[in-house]
Amino acid sequence: MRSLLNIFKKVFVVTYYKKNTGFFLFLFYMLFGVEQKPVLFHRELIESIVAGKTELLVTLVIFLLYHLKCLCFIIRRIKSDEYRFIAEMQSYSTFRQTFVIAIAYILLAAPFTIYSGFIIAASIKLKYILSVIVVVLFQFIAHAIGIFICYKTVQNGFMRKQRISLPGKIPVIKKSMFLLPLWYSVNDGQWRLVVVKFFSLLLLSFT
């Protein structure tokens, strides 16, 4: 499962943060670079969020938009022809598939989830229990729905692949979970690595 987890980290997590470097730098500058006293600013901001219903609602909408951003990124990657090999994770058990997808999604949603943690901590400190319940439930439901949609997208991608009619009606065979790293290397353009490994094994077999 570690090989599958590493593939998902590279395909989704690393690529996502590379593509959105500008977005996060801009966000960091707006949140911490504009104000002269960013710590005091965020303390007052979080206190206003937990104390006011309107502020809390606006914050949850912003969190929701970010979850949609993460979800759209993952779905586009799964449906992309370049990453069709992701359907081969069907060789793994449902638990392993769900676990790997969950890790990838959690890592993508981490920035706003961490900020939610500060809101929850402030709500507990200021004894706004309703705000704690609302934020915790929102993040739990948003993560659960996002992971479920990603899992179903992988399942649907595999079913679409099986329905593709090939010349001579050649059956589509699921790759073994041991061959998934090799399948990823080929699709990722790492032909040199595959060729070198093949000839190395060939030479070893004759020695």
Q: Which candidate, 102, 110, 108, places its Cα nearest to that of 16?
A: 108
Report the distance separating Cα 150 and Cα 90, nearest Å: 13
**102, burial (CB in 10 Å: exposed 0-12, middle 13-18, buried 19+):** middle
Quote the pTM value.
0.72
Residue 174 · residue 161 · CB < 8 Å: no
User: Can you list the alpha helix ranges (DSSP code H) found in 29-128?
Assistant: 38-51, 53-79, 94-108, 110-125
Contact 9, 104 (CB under 8 A): yes
CB 78 within 8 A of CB 150: yes
Give the length of the chain.
Answer: 207
What pLDDT score was predicted for residue 182? 52
Quick one: CA dihedral 153, 154, 159, 164, positive or negative?
Answer: positive
The pLDDT tens digits along the chain (207 residues) read 677 788 888 888 999 999 998 888 888 877 776 666 777 888 888 889 998 889 999 999 999 999 999 999 999 888 887 777 776 777 778 888 889 999 999 999 999 999 999 999 999 999 999 999 999 999 999 999 999 999 888 888 655 555 544 444 444 444 444 455 555 554 554 544 544 454 455 445 444
